[in-house]
Copies of this chain bind each other. A is one copy, B any other.
């Protein structure tokens, strides 16, 4: 993992459809050398895959919410029950265990406030391990994720 690799990754993070020829030119390497590096980055797991980036609202997901969750306890059973429940809900896009007053931070996207209410009341609150939740409704996206910054 050197500066050339980081340069390759920075470009592929933004546009993975660039041709090897164009990519090699932008980083100042020959096509085959560049190609070899990309294949290595794929093989060693640095590049996990290639994905289409969708416009959230264009696919009808008007509502984005972050939820802080506190569990009844940090006992193994509660943690695992919660995590399993989370993984089973496709509307929950990500979930992080965090420090602080709450135990987890999750991100959710749904079509409407009504859908969020249903998710919140009928599915999240129904998880026995959950003791408290705090909804952080996203009003606007100031900055959207477009790849990691590789210094």
Q: Which of A28-36, A43-51, A123-131 contacts B (4 or more CB under 8 A)?
A: A43-51
Which chain B residues border A136 with CB–CB below 8 Å?
Answer: 96, 98-100, 102, 105
Which chain B residues border A61 with CB–CB below 8 Å?
Answer: 148
Complexed CA–CA distance, A55 and B13 (Å): 11
Complexed CA–CA distance, A49 and B144 (Å): 13
Contacts A138-B98, A149-B93 given: A59-B87 contact, CB under 8 Å?
A: no
Which chain B residues border A111 with CB–CB below 8 Å?
Answer: 151
Complexed CA–CA distance, A134 and B105 (Å): 13
Contacts A54-B9, A54-B147 given: A49-B98 contact, CB under 8 Å?
A: no
Which chain B residues border A118 with CB–CB below 8 Å?
Answer: none
A51 contacts B147, C-beta separation under 8 Å: yes
Would you give the shortest CB distance from A120 to chain B, in whole angstroms?
14
B1 contacts A59, C-beta separation under 8 Å: yes
Residues of A within 8 A of B (CB): 1, 6, 9, 12-17, 44-56, 58-61, 64, 66, 83, 86-87, 90-100, 102, 104-107, 109, 111, 134-151
Q: List 25 A-B contacts (CB under 8 A).
A: A1-B60, A6-B59, A9-B54, A9-B59, A16-B17, A46-B55, A48-B53, A50-B52, A51-B51, A51-B53, A51-B146, A54-B148, A56-B148, A66-B98, A66-B105, A83-B142, A86-B142, A93-B143, A93-B145, A94-B143, A96-B136, A96-B138, A97-B139, A102-B136, A111-B151
